[in-house]
Structure 1
Amino acid sequence: MATHFDLQEQEQLDQLKHFWKTWGNLITWVLIVVMGGIAAWNGWRLWQGRQAQQATGLAEAVESAAQAGDAARVQQAFEDLRSGYAGTQQAGQAGLLAASALLDAGKPDEARSTLAWVADKASDEGLRALARLRLAALLIEQKDYDGAMAQLSGSIPPEFAGLVADRKGDVLALQDKKAEAVEEYRKAWQALDERIDYRRLVEAKLNALGVSVLASAAGAGAAQ
């Protein structure tokens, strides 16, 4: 009986050796690839976490400098954030804050450059849209109407359509293009939610141009 078990065990051992000889290398490489992938994924997550942590620290430095009114430190902190962590959401958010602080400090050209970077490079499309709107407003103040319209004609998410149309109306009104301005203000008024206070400002702009949107809306309703 013992001999029978010995033979059986030897046969199983031979089968295992044959199997490993046939498939051993493949199994080894599959395990290496799988374990390497897991290690790479964990490493990437660790790196991403460190990036976010360091970016947050620099973004807080921008905020602290802005609150202190230290324009030079705002610029330095944002430059460090932009150069090292441009792909993070913190960089876009800090850029908007830095631009506002630079404007308050009487540095419109630096603010313009910062907003241009956010408009082109921020990782979040909503932040890019906000930067374009703010940059357009700054360009309007600087009477660069073509530049402002160029910013407003770029790719912007649909939810910003009302604000974009309003800003376009401002540019056209300043260029004495009344009919075109009215058209854009109408678009803005229609796109903005009636519960938003800003919609009343757009309505006031139309009234100033001799257009009553409420009367127009009532007339359209009666015609139906």
Structure 2
Amino acid sequence: MAYDHAEQEQLAGLKSWWEQYGNLVTWVLIIALGAFAAWKGWAYYQTRQTAQAAQLYEELQRAVQAKDKEQIQRAAEDMQSRFSGTAYAQMSGLAAAKAAFDAGDFQVAKTHLQWVADKARDDEYQAIAKVRLAGILLDEKAYDEGLKVLDGKFPAQFAGVVADRKGDILVAQNKLEEARAAYQTAIEKTDARSTGRQLIQIKLDAIGGAPAADAA
């Protein structure tokens, strides 16, 4: 079918525009499609990683129940090397640390806790690991190292438990005035309805009550 004059002008204009911008448009479309494909691929990869990590975490939990130390260690190391970016890695680190601690293997427990403290993606898991690690260091009489672990920023909800742990270490160092101040902070930062708050008060009373400045 023949085109009329107006249609021919439109086609000529379109041809001219395509010759000028067609290559650019093609590349933009290619890049956009490539980005979409990459995003879909990454989403699939993340989903697959999470599913595999969940399966491995179940294996670790079964090993914990069976008290199979070698399997726990293998599963935890595998999780850390393959799925370190997932929440299951930090959960596995804490679970493996507790299993090692219960078995009396404090060195392995410390290794797992240190990994979580350094590598966990969530501040809350890092905080739990640090408080537990400081507890082991207290048992080992590594007081300065334990206090160092408790330095730095912690999520607000951990202020009480961190101060409490500092108080325990300071008592062990016979730094009673500093310990009183730490326990007082722990009491102030702990919910009044918590049984933990009552235990902190008992520890504070055992070393002479409130800090000197407060007592005055």
2:119 and 2:131 map into 1 onto residues whose CA distance is 15
Counterpart amino acid of residue 210 in structure 1 = G
SS in 2 for 1:140: helix
Cα deviation for residue 212 of structure 1 reads 6.0
Matches within 5 A, 1:1-224: 5-211=3-209
SS in 1 for 2:4: helix
Which structure 1 residue ranges, 5 or more long, are not aligned? none
Aligned structure 1 segments of 4 or more residues deviating by more than 4 angstroms: none
Counterpart amino acid of residue 74 in structure 2 = Q
2:58 and 2:153 map into 1 onto residues whose CA distance is 29
Counterpart amino acid of residue 22 in structure 2 = G
The answer as to whether partners of 2:123 and 2:155 remain within 8 angstroms in 1 is yes
Counterpart amino acid of residue 76 in structure 2 = F
1:23 and 1:149 map into 2 onto residues whose CA distance is 65
SS in 1 for 2:144: helix
TM-score normalized by structure 1? 0.90
Bigger radius of gyration, 1 or 2? 1
1:201 and 1:28 map into 2 onto residues whose CA distance is 70
Counterpart amino acid of residue 178 in structure 1 = L
Counterpart amino acid of residue 50 in structure 1 = R
Cα deviation for residue 162 of structure 1 reads 0.9
1:212 and 1:25 map into 2 onto residues whose CA distance is 78
Cα deviation for residue 11 of structure 1 reads 2.1
Q: Deviations over 1:19-53 (max 9, x none)?
A: 11111011111111111111111111111111111
TM-score normalized by structure 2? 0.94
Kindly tell me the number of residue pairs found equivalent between the two proteins.
Answer: 214
Which structure 2 residue ranges, 5 or more long, are not aligned? none
2:206 and 2:198 map into 1 onto residues whose CA distance is 12
1:137 and 1:184 map into 2 onto residues whose CA distance is 15
SS in 2 for 1:83: helix
